[in-house]
Amino acid sequence: MTVSHISTPDLTDLAQHTRIAARSLAALPTADRNRAIASIAQALEAAAPQILAANAADCEAAIAAGLAKPLYERLKLDATKLAGVIAGVRDVERLPDPVGTVQIHRELDQGLVMTRITCPLGVLGVIFESRPDALVQIASLAVKSGNGVILKGGREAVRSCEALTQAIHQGLEAAGIDLAVVQLLTTREETVALLQLDQYVDLIIPRGSNAFVRFVQQNTTIPVLGHADGICHLYVDRAADVEQAVAIAVDAKTNYPSACNAIETLLVHEAIAPQFLQQAIPALQAQRVELRTDARTCAIAAAQGVTLATATAADWATEYSDLILAVKLVDSVEEAIAHINTYGSRHTEAIVTADAQTAKTFMAQVDAAGVFHNCSTRFSDGFRYGFGAEVGISTQKMPPRGPVGLEGLVTYQYQVVGQGHIAATYSGDQAKAFTHRDL
Amino acid sequence: MTVSHISTPDLTDLAQHTRIAARSLAALPTADRNRAIASIAQALEAAAPQILAANAADCEAAIAAGLAKPLYERLKLDATKLAGVIAGVRDVERLPDPVGTVQIHRELDQGLVMTRITCPLGVLGVIFESRPDALVQIASLAVKSGNGVILKGGREAVRSCEALTQAIHQGLEAAGIDLAVVQLLTTREETVALLQLDQYVDLIIPRGSNAFVRFVQQNTTIPVLGHADGICHLYVDRAADVEQAVAIAVDAKTNYPSACNAIETLLVHEAIAPQFLQQAIPALQAQRVELRTDARTCAIAAAQGVTLATATAADWATEYSDLILAVKLVDSVEEAIAHINTYGSRHTEAIVTADAQTAKTFMAQVDAAGVFHNCSTRFSDGFRYGFGAEVGISTQKMPPRGPVGLEGLVTYQYQVVGQGHIAATYSGDQAKAFTHRDL
């Protein structure tokens, strides 16, 4: 069994095939889909030597090509990491089935019943940079939710992706599932072609740099689950507990600086600024955080004997993804809200305050998928929310929004069952009334 | 108070103003938003003479311009119809508030609580042809759901739209609501500009012809709630109750032929075709339905002494919106499903059969927002589903899908409240576990 290389004109056929295969998968009971996932985990275990060898070859080529260190780190798959990936597949097997959940069950009239029930989206298009582990995770989530998936990994991970897909196909075959449910693309041309397949692909999930996600969003009419930027703020209110505020600021910036839910800008109420900065500046600098500040913050720091860099207008709109933090004084919660609604990327925004009314105003007026009070923005995460899995984080306004679990891979359908009911019965002079009784 | 005419470059300012006004509206308690709706109803009643005069002027101009009769019918607003429109506003007042519904309430750890709660989308862009009554309905639904709305009515209804908006503004003013919550645009250039405002408008709702909706869908990156086509099918299975099937076919075609949930094609299992057609053809012809049939249907009809027109390939892909019905024989439920998944517009698809297994196969494999068994496709409707209001019908795959009620005008937000909680506590060697306990 080999993973075939597909030329662009064949992509429509491939996607149609995936669509049909996914429809059969969707019709299977939960236990059968779970069995397929268990079978995939087993096949991955059996193929571990081949997978690690393929990854070693990718890594060797990456070193020769001078791949940037962070990309290399994400590419590398050792025995421990692979075991973790396979354990993740078994976790997916144990998640509740997102398909078949009844959301509305209503009698419209005697013998006429409407049911709104969750069902798979159909076909997912997933495009990612480097990380071969992402391929396995998303393929198992797709099978779990009854969807087909067309995967496109990074060029630097092509051997790893092929070895992993081959193992996944072996697992599917052993479970009697059509292999077309999981397809792998390997060329950049296919990525562009994939984005045009709005008739056959229902959702695009891009996993990569901001620029990459933005490219995807701007070049497809297929819905995209993702976020380009993660410019999150922490607002330290005049009524903040200073020690709490310092601890949250340090955590939100330094716990994982390249995460999308790390903060990029700290907004500080002027009334608490001298007191807060006296503790916050040394605490952040102790963690090697570079501070870029507005003139007023700069002056307060100077009065405290610290010289800080000056922020430019561009700083307020920058996601550093690094140990850099912009700091700005504001005169009111309203000014903080206005700044956030101007520069924020609608991801996660937090306030530290002991004033319940101010917190309420902040949470009602800030436009973001997550609004947090007296805790770190880093909690904005599918696993931390208890979703069991995270498909992506969306900063769009319509649901699914914020961290998206398996729920984001299903939609719903209205099923109406009657006994010969016709609409004419319910209109005109003799119109019968609907009962609209929830069952 | 007059409704100002806005030139295109000002549209960004206008939308920003609406956004800010909507944020204040969203922060109001349910009772205040309901009071604003009551006030709108009152103002519309008080302004009835002016509204009817403005509409009469529109109608006069429409007659002079030779407006097509169906458009004229939708434009015309007499005292009875206006009273109905105002009664509709009071109905909206009585609907449950879609804002503030708690969807998830979960303790992540002691003192750290996550709440997923519904909130308004922000700003709606609504573009409609003719129907001034649609303006009132959507404006009251927007106020109910805490959204701002930018309305663009048809050119032929401009006087009516201005008179209605003026009354709505009077109602908002009396309730102390910022008038910018409801804005009216009047030129075609503004429609195009509105579709570009992806930073300020969260959802576009087009109400008009298929071509118009398709134009909107293809010219904006803002999510669109709507459907271009409504090509619905009825499949009469070999195990159908013939009388039931005939009654449903007649209802689904003739109850309201121009509705999007009326059927355009009838698929008939060959085994039941002679018996079914013998009753269905006279029943449909008695309602003046023109039948366009494939060769096999034609032959059966001919054997029964009836000459029918022949369908061309184009018929399978046409929404007639008229008393015309295409008829095609199929050899199996699988063939019916394949035909529907090729030509259907994913709106509403129905099967008539006494065979539960066949019905199950059909409902699982047909890709549509609504899949119906032994009842008319005409039940696919927000009011008939008991939603109290219908914002639109969506044929996209992602929710909201199918007939969309007030629920379609809200999204959700994650609120997390802690007591100084930081993420570092939950990682590393000493990692604390989350409790993930639903409250």
Cis amide leading into B400 (omega within 30): yes
Q: Is B326's pLDDT higher than 90?
A: yes
Residues whose CB is less than 8 angstroms from the CB of residue B34 and which lie 6 or more positions away in sequence, other chains included: B93, B97, B144
Query: B373: nearest CA in chain A?
Result: A417
CB atoms A371 and B424 under 8 Å: no
Rg (CA), chain B: 25
**Residue A413 in contact with residue B371, Cβ under 8 Å?**
yes
Q: How far is CA A123 from the centre of its chain?
A: 17
Residues of B within 8 A of A402 (CB-CB) are 413-414
Residue A278's nearest CA partner among A307, A247, A251, A301 is: A301
CB atoms A374 and B417 under 8 Å: yes
The residue of B413, B434, B439 whose CB has the most chain A CBs within 10 angstroms, and thus the best one to mutate to test that interface, is: B413
State the CB neighbour count (10 A cutoff) for residue A25.
26
Residues of B within 8 A of A414 (CB-CB) are 369-371, 380, 385, 402-403
How many Å apart are CA A77 and CA A228, to the nearest integer? 26
**Residue B194 in contact with residue B152, Cβ under 8 Å?**
yes
The C-alpha angle B427, B429, B431, rounded to 5 degrees, equals 40
DSSP A218-279: HT-SS-B---S---EEEEE-TT--HHHHHHHHHHHHHSSTTSTTSEEEEEEETTTHHHHHHH
Query: CA of A68 to nearest chain B CA: how many angstroms apart?
Result: 26
Residues of A within 8 A of B414 (CB-CB) are 369-371, 380, 385, 402-403
Query: A359: nearest CA in chain B?
Result: B417
For residue A204, what is the enclosing H or E element? Answer: strand A203-207
- The pLDDT score that the predictor gives to residue A229 is 82
Nearest CB among B23, B421, B434 relative to A386 is that of B434
pLDDT in tens, B261-294: 999 999 999 999 999 999 999 999 999 999 999 9
How many Å apart are CA B142 and CA B182, to the nearest integer? 9
- The pLDDT score that the predictor gives to residue B9 is 56
Q: 3-state class of A432 per DSSP?
A: coil
Residue A212, both tokens: 């990459």
Q: How far is CA A60 from the centre of its chain?
A: 30
pLDDT in tens, B345-392: 999 999 999 999 999 999 999 999 999 999 999 999 999 999 988 888
Query: What's the rounded mean pLDDT across residues A47-67?
Result: 95
Query: CA of B99 to nearest chain A CA: how many angstroms apart?
Result: 12
CB atoms B223 and A415 under 8 Å: no
CB atoms A248 and B422 under 8 Å: yes
ipTM: 0.91
Residue A38, both tokens: 């268990």
Residues of A within 8 A of B95 (CB-CB) are none
CB atoms B375 and A416 under 8 Å: yes
**pTM to 2 decimals?**
0.90
How would you write chain B as a 3-class SS string?
Answer: CCCCCCCHHHHHHHHHHHHHHHHHHHHCCHHHHHHHHHHHHHHHHHCHHHHHHHHHHHHHHHHHHCCCHHHHHHHCCCHHHHHHHHHHHHHHHHCCCCCCCEEEEEEEECCEEEEEEEEECCEEEEEECCCHHHHHHHHHHHHHCCCEEEEECCHHHHHHHHHHHHHHHHHHHHCCCCHHHEEEECCHHHHHHHHHCCCCCCEEEEECCHHHHHHHHHCCCCCECCCCCCCEEEEECCCCCHHHHHHHHHHHHHCCCCCCCCEEEEEEECCCHHHHHHHHHHHHHHCCCEEEECHHHHHHHHHCCCCCEECCHHHHHCCCCCCEEEEEEECCHHHHHHHHHHHCCCCEEEEECCCHHHHHHHHHHCCCCEEEEEECHHHCCCCCCCCCCCCEEECCCCCCCEEECHHHHEEEEEEEEEEEECHHHHCCCCCCCCCCEEC
Residues of A within 8 A of B349 (CB-CB) are none
Query: CA of B418 to nearest chain A CA: how many angstroms apart?
Result: 5
Torsion of Cα atoms, A104 then A109 then A111 then A117, to 10°: -10
Which residues lie across from B183 on neighbouring strands?
Answer: B150
State the CB neighbour count (10 A cutoff) for residue A360.
14
First to last CA, chain B: 50
Residues of B within 8 A of A413 (CB-CB) are 368-371, 401-402
Which residues lie across from B149 on neighbouring strands?
Answer: B124, B182
pLDDT in tens, B83-127: 999 999 999 999 999 999 999 999 999 999 999 999 999 999 999
The C-alpha angle B329, B231, A24, rounded to 5 degrees, equals 70
Residue B277, both tokens: 């057609």
Residue B159, both tokens: 């006087």
Please name the amino acid found at residue A101.
T
pLDDT in tens, A363-408: 999 999 999 999 999 999 999 999 988 888 998 899 999 999 999 9
CB atoms A371 and B414 under 8 Å: yes
CB atoms B416 and A112 under 8 Å: no
Residues whose CB is less than 8 angstroms from the CB of residue B99 and which lie 6 or more positions away in sequence, other chains included: B26, B30, B118, B119, B120, B145, B146, B410
- The pLDDT score that the predictor gives to residue B3 is 46
Residues of B within 8 A of A27 (CB-CB) are 364-365
Residues whose CB is less than 8 angstroms from the CB of residue B82 and which lie 6 or more positions away in sequence, other chains included: B44, B48, B51, B52
Residues whose CB is less than 8 angstroms from the CB of residue B148 and which lie 6 or more positions away in sequence, other chains included: B18, B19, B21, B22, B25, B122, B123, B124, B142, B180, B181, B182, B183
User: How many pairs of residues across A and B have Cβ atoms under 8 Å apart?
Assistant: 220
Q: Is B50's pLDDT higher than 70?
A: yes
pLDDT in tens, A140-170: 999 999 999 999 988 899 999 999 999 999 9
The residue of A18, A101, A102, A413 whose CB has the most chain B CBs within 10 angstroms, and thus the best one to mutate to test that interface, is: A413
Residue B381's nearest CA partner among B198, B197, B252 is: B252
Q: Is A339's pLDDT higher than 50?
A: yes
Longest dimension (CA), chain B: 86
Residue B111, both tokens: 């003192």
CB atoms B420 and A114 under 8 Å: no
- The pLDDT score that the predictor gives to residue A4 is 47
Residue B205 CA: distances (Å) to CA of A138, A347, B367, B408: 33, 25, 23, 11
pLDDT in tens, A341-360: 999 999 999 999 999 999 99
CB atoms B368 and A244 under 8 Å: no
Q: Which of A256-260, A268-272, B235-239, B286-290 has the lowest mean pLDDT?
A: A256-260
Residues whose CB is less than 8 angstroms from the CB of residue A220 and which lie 6 or more positions away in sequence, other chains included: A195, A196, A198, A204
CB atoms A379 and B421 under 8 Å: yes
> Which structural domains are found in chain A, ordered by start?
8-218 (3.40.605.10), 232-379 (3.40.309.10)
How many Å apart are CA B161 and CA B5, to the nearest integer? 12
The residue of A101, A385, A426 whose CB has the most chain B CBs within 10 angstroms, and thus the best one to mutate to test that interface, is: A385
Query: What's the rounded mean pLDDT across residues B131-155?
Result: 93
